[in-house]
Chain A
Amino acid sequence: MTAATGFGAIVVALASAAALVVQGARAQWADGVDGTATRLPVLGLVGGAVLAMVALEVALLTDDFSIEYVARNSSIGTPTIFKVASAWAALEGSIVLWGLVLAGFTFFVWRSVTPDDRLGAGALAVMGVVAVFFFGLMATVANPFTTVAAAPADGFGANPLLQNHILMAVHPPMLYLGFVGLTTPFAFGVSAMAIAEEGPAWLERTRRWTVVAWAFLTAGIVLGGLWSYEVLGWGGYWAWDPVENASLVPWLLATAFIHSAVVQRRRGMLQAWNLALVIAAFASTILGTFLTRSGVIASVHSFTQSEVGPALLGFFGVVVVASFALFALRAHLVASSPRLESLSSREGAFLANNLLLTLFAFVVLVGTLYPILVEAFSGDEVSVGRPFFDRAATPLGFALLLAMGVGPVAPYRVARASVLWERLRTPVRLALVTGAAVVLSGVRRPSVIVAVVLAAFVVAGIGRHLVVQAGRAAAGSERSGPSAAWRLVRRDPGYWGGQLSHVGVAVLVVGITVSGAFGVEREIPLEPGGSATFEGYTLTYLGPFQQEEPNRTVIGAGIEVARDGRVLEVLEPRLNQYPNQVQAVPTPAVRTGLTEDLYLSLARIDQSGVVIDAFHYPLILLVWIGGFLAAAGAAWSVLVRRPGRDRTATPEAARV
């Protein structure tokens, strides 16, 4: 019954999506656009998507093992929270979630469509095409409601990696909101090309959604890193794994787009480039899903393998060929004439930003695909890993920080050297003094010194700009400095939200560089009652413990952590044994501090003692703080409404 309802819902959504394509396209091309023609298809799409998800959840919560997906990904003993999360923990269910999120975005786009709105109607048609593909997948090769003739008495149980940490229930939906959110600017971009509409209307209408998608994508990637760190027990958070790269490439392209969109809105430049970027960003989300979900790359994340792979690859091909064919035919019609007056200007900094970000995305893509292509064409196995990506990411990241420090305070059109120096003098001085302090404190790692100098440059530049602007505003009124600064930040959330994201990225880079350069790992064997010293800590093995939980058996070691003769706490790194997997899943114990983390992972345990993998990372907390600040900046820029009467006035910061 549940299976029939769920599959029926998918069919309804599929049919509605197809109707949306037809009605949207008709509305775009008909002389008089009928705004109501798309209502039924959109409501059908949303209703079908919601019902499909509800049916899947009901099936999981009622232990309906006649449905193959439930039997494979849940069991009677699975805790309720993981039954709920199992709805998107495996391939078929994750596509249901994708469809639901897409239906949600389609609904919001539909609400913004007015009568005679050819651009919006076309965008709905494009979103309909994407929805046809995903609901088509669910109706055919990735049907989550496939039933089995003889229902087993119990299911196989949820994925151990999912059950091991709650973050695995949160991280994928976040990423999906980001990935799918990039469909909106893509749909408007394609629609604008289809009707050869000039001007930044498509950008204006999708700006908020792009930033929303970016915020979720950022938060999703950071949560993924946190999950990897807190769960996998290898001591790191980013491995340049193909699946991680698959989320980074869309992030880089979306970041480039957010910046180049500003240039088009402010100065009318880069129209064609923006169209190319949204196509590339959307296509990269499909390619990323293909890499993640097809099992084409042997990777720790690719839990699944199925014939969905060829379908995704085919859709990726269609998207790329069709979009860029349209781009080749129409881009010159919508393209603006470039009017770059000087490379030394805000536009110049944006161009540098775009060059660096797209190059970064390109390098990551090449490094990720290279082993697959070599294997496909020659059968040889080659590896591309961290050294390759680090070597590319380091200079590109540093150059981006430099552009980030100069760009936001550079004037549009032409930035005279004297003006630039006037604004950059103080940040440069503060950055160099900070760098000198770091060197004098004994740090000799070039990467750390450069990262600190550049991050200080970025943060000081933003701080100086805020202080100067607030001072100017305060001088003209009776407000105090801080009150004027607060008002400024609220008046122009787009600019200052962006600056908050910049601070986040600067903090993130310092965290990555410092924890990477000074991180220490040591394998420590300990007998019961024995101790060892590690980076100033004394670790004492108190003894093993074992506990039975409903869904797993936990074996752990009590490790007393002391420093300078004072006991700080007892850390309990564990190994979790799940009935449906032979290999135990570790749960490392992390003592997180403001300045450093002590990270203990249980490598081996038996009667004679334990082997602990101990890690010590200075300043790694900055990675998470920086990442979430970046996402928070984006949230600020879309959530805060400008106060007061002059909502349409040109914000101050943009005019400098």
Chain B
Amino acid sequence: MSETVRRRLGAAVTLAALAVVVVGLFAPEDSDEDRVAALATRLRCPVCQSESIADSGSQTARDSERLIAELVAEGRTDQEIVDFFVARYGEWILLDPPATGRGLLLWLLPAAGLVAGVGAILGLRRRAPASP
């Protein structure tokens, strides 16, 4: 096998593998069970200290998980289910505060950190003298 053929073959294999990976990435499955599990990690167990419904072994958490499963089976959207729990327990129930009002800080601070960091690195580049 000549060098050219081998190189082309290598490139073809790489591209084919890349195509398969990309297709795999954009064809996610999302079953009802996954949705219940995802929602259960987003909501706090009402009677525990800092555990989610998914993590807690308490009876209340079990009941809440069952309730989520029922709501999912009824065809409610994620947002409706989250709103249902917020109406019942208050915003405290959310382990992931929404990016509105006060909760916006939680999003803005990391974003500001990222911008500052990237800015500092680019500044380092600009101040650098030309290579000798």
Interface residues on chain A, number (Cβ under 8 Å): 61
Contact A343 B49 (CB under 8 A): no
Closest to A433 in B: B17
- Residues of A within 8 Å of B109, CB to CB, are 362, 366
Bound-complex Cα distance A175 to B17 (A): 43
Q: Dominant SS at the B interface?
A: helix
Alpha-carbon distance A399/B88, docked complex (angstroms):
39
A 428-448 to B, binary, CB cutoff 8 A, 1 in contact else 0: 110011011011100111100
A382 interface residue, CB < 8 Å from B?
A: yes
With A298-B49, A382-B92, A432-B18 already in contact, the answer to whether A444 and B121 are too (CB < 8 A) is no
Report if A234 contacts B (CB, 8 A).
Answer: yes
Given contacts A339-B129, A358-B117, contact A444 B24 (CB under 8 A): yes
CB-defined contacts of A549 to chain B, threshold 8 Å: none
Give the interface size bracket for B toward A: 35 or more
Residues of B within 8 Å of A446, CB to CB, are: 24-25, 28
Return B95 CB to nearest CB of chain A, in Å. Answer: 3
In the bound assembly, the distance between CA atoms of A380 and B90 in angstroms comes to 10
In the bound assembly, the distance between CA atoms of A358 and B44 in angstroms comes to 28
Tell me whether B24 and A439 are in contact (CB under 8 A): yes
Quick check: B24 and A449 within 8 Å, CB to CB? yes
A223–B99 alpha-carbon span in the complex (Å):
35
| CB closest chain-A residue, reference B26 | A446
Tell me which residues across on chain B come within 8 A of A297, comparing CB atoms.
50
| CB of A601 within 8 Å of the partner chain | yes
B124 near A338 with CB under 8 A, answer: yes
B6 to chain A, nearest CB (A): 13
Chain A residues with CB under 8 Å of B103's CB are 382
A-contact bits for B1-21, CB 8 A (1 contact / 0 none): 000000000100110111011
Decide yes or no: A435 and B95 within 8 Å by CB, A444-B29, A450-B25 being known contacts: no
Closest to B95 in A: A385
* Complex partner residue of B121 from A342, A343, A370, A449, CB under 8 angstroms: A343
Q: Tell me how far the C-beta of A477 lies from the nearest C-beta in chain B, rounded to whole angstroms.
A: 29
Instruction: Evaluate contact between B51 and A436: CB separation under 8 angstroms.
Output: no
Residues of B within 8 A of A449 (CB): 21, 24-25
Interface residue B91 (Cβ < 8 Å from any Cβ of A): yes
B96 CB within 8 Å of chain A: yes
B12 to chain A, nearest CB (A): 11
Report the Cα distance A270→B16, complex, angstroms.
42
Choose among A385, A435, A436 the residue that contacts B96 (Cβ–Cβ < 8 A).
Answer: A385
Q: How far is the CA of A386 from the CA of B42 in the complex (A)?
A: 7
Residue among A299, A386, A414 with max Cβ neighbours from chain B (10 Å) = A386
Q: A299-B50, A342-B125 are in contact. List 6 more A-B contacts (CB 8 A).
A: A233-B57, A338-B127, A370-B97, A392-B110, A433-B17, A435-B17
